[in-house]
Amino acid sequence: MNMGSGSISYADWAPGTTTENVYWVTNLPSSALIRGTNVLAVEVHQVNATSSDIVFGMAVNVVYPSPTLLAINEDLENLTIEETKTAVFDLGLSGEPAYYQWYKDGSPLAGGTKNPLRVGPAVPADAGNYYVIVTNAINSVTSSVVSLTVFADTNAPVLVDASGDSLTNVMVSYSELVLPSTATNAANYKITNTVNGGTIAITRAVLVDGTNVNLTTAARGAGTNYILVVSNVKDISTAQNTIIPNSRFPISSLFKGAVSIGAAYNFYQPQYQFFDPQPDQGTAWKEYTFEVPAYWSSGFGGFLFSDHPYEVPYTVGPGGNLGNSELITSYYRSPFTTQVSPGGAQLLLSYFVDDGAIFYLNGVEVHRFNMRPGSYDYLTTTLAVIGDGVMSDPVALPEGTFRLGTNIFAIELHQATQLTTTPLWRPRSISKPDRSSWVLS
């Protein structure tokens, strides 16, 4: 009541005052109730530090719905699962209220008062016969007796992921639940550097949940490949199957800024249709081996021509102020170097563009924004006008498009309209593009 949405802390003020001496009435969700004793907790917030009073009073009324006849719509089924997995018995039922009591081999299960019933991680002793009796004030129904069969787990755990987005942590994921005493032993892990074969110190291993372990490590080098090596980790089965010694998995990492907003570019923004050396750059300009002509410019991103530069979420780089061009297309090239192995790696592209763009990596088109499919040229306009640019969500680029060492990102920026061609002797009369029209990061 009278509090904003989202998370609330003890230091949050109420957004405004309320009318005094007026009761506020609402319904609480019955799904939050449990059978037996319930606890309702309330925190009262002041509107400011000088509020003259603090008041709280409450009354709770319970309205019991009229009971309806219970009927089983979908009965239980026999289940067979592997040891350490979870079995779920789910009874399809109509009528309310419904009070459940589950039974195994004829004896009531402690805590077995919810539907569905989950049994797991299963052990051999969980095998047996199960049923449930459901009651209310009108009648009771009993399900069929069904069996749970638990067969032995004979498979050892295997590594399924090693995520190292933080340079001092690695999240290790296993194919099944692992034995905590073995999974949290830092001596069972090793991280090797694929460049020089050195190892990275591991100081801590914490079991986050049954299948994920967070390793705390010494700082790893950004842009360097590492391999996780694991031995002696066991699953929680009766047999305690052990992972294959020296199991290996490459550590995936997110290296931000392969091409940053402030990266260095060669770029070409032709100004006039009949004056610039070559307003149509064709297709060679995007190729890896393209020799940048002398009439291209150089500068640092982001790039901008706008009457409202404060509307872009970055600082225009040195040499990044663009001109008032009458043409649709401008061209940009930026090299970046990485020692990350291309095998299994993926680039994530984020951009701020107005109006449209086509992106190339080492001469291969990898993404389009606000551009039509199919062929195009330097006179091709965009699908729509972008009033104000918006920073994109990360876009996963196709695998296999970047290489070890130097890479070239090439971008052609397109506008939504062809501006009026003006005689060369009156260049100041050229119409301006819509605001924020020349933006690229």
Segments making up each domain of the chain, as ranges:
71-151, 159-250, 256-441
Could you report the per-residue pLDDT of 339-383, keeping only the tens digit for each?
776 766 778 888 888 889 999 999 999 999 999 999 999 889 999
Fold classification of 256-441 (topology level): Jelly Rolls (2.60.120)
Query: Spelled out in words, what is the top-level CATH class assigned to the domain 159-250?
Result: mainly beta
pLDDT one-digit tens code per residue, 234-273? 999 999 999 999 999 998 876 666 677 778 899 998 876 5
CA distances from 83 to 151, 207, 260 (A): 6, 20, 50
Type of residue at 173: S
Q: 322-338: b or e for each residue (b if 16 or more CB lie within 10 Å)?
A: bebbbbbbbbbbbebeb
**DSSP string of 315-337, one letter each residue:** PPPTT-B----SSSEEEEEEEEE
Q: Check if CATH label 2.60.40.10 holds for domain 71-151.
A: yes
**Contact call for residues 214 and 174 (beta carbons, < 8 A):** no
Q: Which uninterrupted H or E stretch holds 415?
A: none
Residue 33 neighbours by CB under 8 Å, 6+ apart: none
Mean pLDDT across the stretch 173-195?
94
Determine the Cα angle at 86 with ends 84 and 88, to 5°: 160
Is residue 441 over pLDDT 80? no
Nearest one of 130, 135, 76 to 107, comparing CA atoms: 130
Bond before 67 cis per omega within 30 degrees: no
Q: What are 270-300's pLDDT values in tens digits?
A: 876 555 567 789 999 999 999 999 989 998 8
Q: What pLDDT digit, counting tens, does each position of 51-89 carry?
A: 888 888 999 888 877 899 999 999 999 999 999 999 999
DSSP state of 427: G
**Strand 79-82 to strand 146-151: parallel, antiparallel, or no bridges (unpaired)?**
parallel
Reduced DSSP (H G I as helix, E B as strand, rest coil) percent helix, strand, coil of the chain, to 5: 5, 30, 65
Report whether the peptide linkage leading into residue 277 is cis, meaning its omega lies within 30 degrees of zero: no
318 falls in which pLDDT band (50, 70, 90)?
confident
CA distances from 58 to 5, 17, 23, 35, 55 (A): 22, 18, 9, 22, 10
**Can you tell me the distance from the alpha carbon of 190 to that of 174, in angstroms, rounded to the nearest whole number?**
16
For tokens 């998995």, name the residue: 249
Q: How far is CA 43 from CA 11, 20, 22, 53, 55, in A?
A: 12, 18, 19, 15, 11
Instruction: Mention every residue, 6+ apart, whose C-beta is less than 8 A from residue 7.
Output: none
CB-CB neighbours of 210 under 10 Å: 16
- Two structure tokens written together for 311: 């509307």
Is the model more confident about 338 or about 356?
A: 356
Q: Bigger pLDDT: 272 or 30?
A: 30
Q: Do the first three CATH levels of 71-151 and 159-250 match, i.e. the same topology?
A: yes
Q: What is the pLDDT of residue 273?
A: 56
Residue 178 contacts residue 156 (beta carbons within 8 Å): no
If you average pLDDT over residues 137-158, what whole number do you get? 97
Kindly report which listed range (184-193, 353-362, 427-436) carries the lowest average pLDDT score. 427-436
Strand (E) or helix (H) holding 284: none
- 1 CB-near residues (< 8 Å, 6+ apart): 18, 24, 26
Cα 354 from chain centre: 26
On the question of pLDDT at 190 being above 90, the answer is yes
Distance CA 295, CA 314 (A): 27
